Amino acid sequence: MNEVLIKAYKYRIYPNGEQSVFIEKHFGCARFTYNWALALQQKYYDEHKKSLSRKDIQDQLVALKKQEQFSWLNEVNSQSLLSGLLHIYTAFENFFKGRAKFPKFKSKKIPQRSYQCPNIAMLILRKVY
């Protein structure tokens, strides 16, 4: 019997002021990409009666980042932007499989915030004796 044990660790962090600003930027940008992709998908469906593919949305996000008015998206890690897209893809998948309602826009006021940077997994902790 081959069993794989997967462990997860959850840590509470206490960021300083500069780190808090950095994290908040990532939260905001991930929320922006989620809302932007949801609006884009709704508009495209209304006009063409079909959905955009993941690649089409990601290509449009790259083009959006190149526009001067959205240059602030370049201040954060690109993978945190893609995490916003991943959340909307999952939301649509759950909707189409009947597991959830149609996705709603995310608000700044709702405290549930998250983003992922899957290829950046480095956290340096001091050893505690």
Who contacts 122 (Cβ-Cβ below 8 Å, separation ≥6)?
none
Q: What is the rounded CA–CA span in Å between residue 93 and residue 97?
A: 6
Domain locations in the chain?
15-129
SS3 content of the chain, % helix, strand, coil (to 5): 55, 0, 45
CA distances from 30 to 7, 45, 76, 81, 124 (A): 26, 22, 9, 5, 24
pLDDT at 35: 96
- Given a cut of 90, whether residue 24 has pLDDT beyond it is no
Who contacts 100 (Cβ-Cβ below 8 Å, separation ≥6)?
91, 94
> pLDDT by residue (tens digit) across 73-107?
999 988 889 888 999 999 999 999 999 999 999 98
Question: pTM of the entire structure?
Answer: 0.81
DSSP state string for 57-116: HHHHHHHHHHSGGGGGGGGS-HHHHHHHHHHHHHHHHHHHTTSSPPP----TTS------
> pLDDT by residue (tens digit) across 41-76?
999 999 999 999 999 999 999 999 999 999 999 999
Q: What is the rounded CA–CA span in Å between residue 16 and residue 33?
A: 26
